[in-house]
Amino acid sequence: MTQHREIRLSGSGGQGLQLSARILAQVFINAGAHVAQSQSYEPTSRGGMSRSDLVIDAGTPDYPLAAALDILLILDECAAGASDDILGKGALVLVDSERVKTVPENSAALPLIRKARELGNIRVANIIALGAINALAEFCSMEELENAVRGTVPARFLDLNLEALAAGYEMARHDGELKSA
């Protein structure tokens, strides 16, 4: 859990990527890692790309900006291509299968936003994505991820978020079984 890892969550503004980055950061901090988080905001006239980066390390990272991503999430086409330059070799890339048309090679594509709509709130697509990423990358137990959600998400949205987390995990596991079948 404290090995060096670089994770970028990207999409469009309003998709809750900063919240899901805080949840992920909490998972790694709870396991004793140091986490540097960074994000940038552009004036809305420039389009709505949003991203949040985490650099996880056993100690304070020498260089706190992402330089070779291990994990990349793309939830919207406006963020597609923006991270190609810093994609590490063998990186896990997860994209939303409906919203993202420009898909990097060897990506996993899942209907994350459609699932959020089915759960009744499109804003939990980011949490579904967290569950799916963990099913694919297996960096922690689902219990550790649930604990971080409990410590971060407002109480009245907790049940919905835990449901979203589980839905993402199941979706990605099922997809993995299909592919390897």
Residue 60 burial class via C-beta count within 10 angstroms: exposed 0-12, middle 13-18, buried 19 and up = exposed
- CA distances (Å), 23 to each of 30, 122, 130, 155, in order? 11, 18, 9, 14
Contact call for residue 32 and a copy of itself (CB under 8 A) = yes
Contact call for residue 123 and a copy of itself (CB under 8 A) = no
Give the one residue of 89, 90, 106, 154 binding a copy of itself; rule: CB under 8 A: 154
Contact call for residue 9 and a copy of itself (CB under 8 A) = no
Contact call for residue 39 and a copy of itself (CB under 8 A) = yes
Nearest approach, Cβ of 98 to a copy of itself (angstroms)?
28
Give the one residue of 5, 7, 11, 45 binding a copy of itself; rule: CB under 8 A: 45
Instruction: Please answer whether residues 15 and 121 qualify as being in contact, where contact means their C-beta atoms are separated by less than 8 angstroms.
Output: no
DSSP state letter for 152: T
Contact call for residue 12 and a copy of itself (CB under 8 A) = no
Contact call for residue 97 and a copy of itself (CB under 8 A) = no
User: Which token pair is 104?
Assistant: 């990097």
